[in-house]
Amino acid sequence: MKPFSIYNTLSRSVEVLKPLDPPTVTLYSCGPTVYLPQHLGNLRSYLSWDFLRRALELNGYRVRHVINVTDVGHMTSDEDEGEDKIEKTARAEGKSPLEVASFYLAMFQHDLAMLNAEPPQVWCRATDHIPDMLALIERILAAGMAYVTKSGVYFDVERYRGTNQLGKLSRQSLAEQNAGQRLEHSPDKKSPHDFALWVLNRPGHLMQWDSPWGRGYPGWHIECSAMSMKYLGETIDIHTGGMDHIPIHHENEIAQSESATGHRFVDYFVHGAFLVDKSGAKISKSAGKFPLLSDLSAMGLDPLAFRLFCFGAKYRSELALSDEGLRAAQASLDYLREFAGNVPAEAVVPEDSDFATRFRDQFVEALNDDLNTPRALAAAREMVAEANRRGDRKIWNTLEFFDRVLQLDLQKTRAAAQSTEFPAEVQKLIDERAAARRTKDFQRADRLRAQLEAQGYEVKDGRDGAATYRRRAR
């Protein structure tokens, strides 16, 4: 079996994972700024990292996962200027910043639970880690890579980059980055490229703390460096985020972190592509109305259909959101659950039928090949289809193995189906009908179906050969 490999933005290539301290893998994910609900595009990102974590665990790794929560310092411009996103919502809703952040964090965590995304071992809120940020800023100052002015403590980007001027992650020059940013040149900054580590003399800002340089609040970028180092050490195995983080946020994280420590900050940077609308535009909060997980219920869709929808696309590929795609994912979810619900007790044996091994190998190989979830999903569906063609359902152990990553509640589905007790005479008809369908005696199967329906039972035959039976509601 091939070892686990992932695309590393630092090297622009797929690399075999070599963690610093195997079998432990340290994983840091840039988390939400909790000022509004997290839309489906945000949730797609966190599902990608859930797939990554579960694939690593399937390979025997112990993943130490940390997600930060930005509840201060993220400006509306994504730079050092503008209004703090949390405070903007707090003023609009007439609440405190703490109330706003706690409310939208709880909503985000609820949505992740609905999607069966495993929570990190550590949720770290920026406002709980101000001392860690101050200590890191002092280290950067001591290294000569930052300076203090009346308006704040700034990182000296041009001094850090030197004559090369290229970013380690984006590989863009400062001039190229300048073209894609809204840079504000404060009078006391050496360069418009310099970013704030600590902001001073903003009396209107609602959240402020004392510091060695005066009362103020942290810049957005310093938060991730300080919190990741606190929980995962000064070098992280894997750091994840959206592709929009590459040229600014993650580039700045590398600069400030490596200036403070003098060594490598991250071994593998892994970035996910956007969820887009039908026109190809990125789904974002700035666009105004944006789709939420709760909207899927109004469409009659299970939240796990969105999980499967995301699993069906490579994390590095844009994924277009559409009603048709979501309903196709729901149909796929129903297909797998219908099979799970109709696996009889006699098919659950210590060892699955031999043909399941081929699909198990395909599933793992797909995940280990740069987290190729579409290919892994195809292996799972093809195994179920093959089981139906053969009339051999002894694949339950393998299907449960797949569901460690898929997380479609297949065990719950089967348990619920098994707990449904039919009267002995009804169960006899169901068993006889299953036997008739296996031998393709469809006339007898139809007669038995009519008998079951006459006794008040709904009969639903799936395209894969599975059938479900339920007592008709009175």
Read off the CATH number of the domain in which 62 is found.
3.40.50.620
Compute CA 9 distance to the chain's CA centroid, rounded to the nearest angstrom.
Answer: 18
pLDDT at 474: 42
What does pLDDT average to in each consecutive run of 10 residues of the chain (474 residues)? 95 98 98 94 98 98 97 65 82 91 96 98 97 98 98 96 88 75 70 93 92 96 97 98 95 97 98 93 79 93 97 97 96 94 89 98 98 98 96 96 98 82 82 86 90 84 70 57
Residues 176 and 315 grouped into a single domain? no
In the chain, the number of structural domains is: 3
Kindly state whether residue 282 falls inside one of the protein's structural domains: no
Residues 450 and 308 grouped into a single domain? no
* Domain end marker among 272, 303, 321: 272
Q: Which domain holds residue 459?
A: 420-471
Dihedral over alpha carbons 178, 180, 184, 189 (to 10 degrees): -30
Residues 85 and 216 grouped into a single domain? yes
Residues 95 and 186 grouped into a single domain? yes
Kindly state whether residue 210 falls inside one of the protein's structural domains: yes
pLDDT at 75: 64
Burial class (CB in 10 A: 0-12, 13-18, 19+), 423: exposed
pLDDT at 79: 56
Kindly state whether residue 305 falls inside one of the protein's structural domains: yes
Residues 68 and 175 grouped into a single domain? yes
CA–CA separation, 222 and 358 (whole Å)? 47
pLDDT at 23: 98
Kindly state whether residue 284 falls inside one of the protein's structural domains: no
Kindly state whether residue 280 falls inside one of the protein's structural domains: no
**Residue 307 burial (CB count, 10 A):** 24
User: Strand locations in 229-344, DSSP E?
Assistant: 236-242, 266-272, 275-276, 319-320
CA–CA separation, 16 and 29 (whole Å)? 20
Residues 87 and 231 grouped into a single domain? yes
Residues 411 and 451 grouped into a single domain? no
Residues 121 and 218 grouped into a single domain? yes
Residues 413 and 424 grouped into a single domain? no
DSSP assigned state of 80: S
Residues 54 and 67 grouped into a single domain? yes
Residues 363 and 392 grouped into a single domain? yes
Kindly state whether residue 385 falls inside one of the protein's structural domains: yes
* Domain end marker among 375, 397, 418: 418
> Model-level pTM?
0.88
Residues 390 and 434 grouped into a single domain? no
Peptide bond just before 23 cis, omega within 30 deg: yes
Kindly state whether residue 279 falls inside one of the protein's structural domains: no
Kindly state whether residue 45 falls inside one of the protein's structural domains: yes
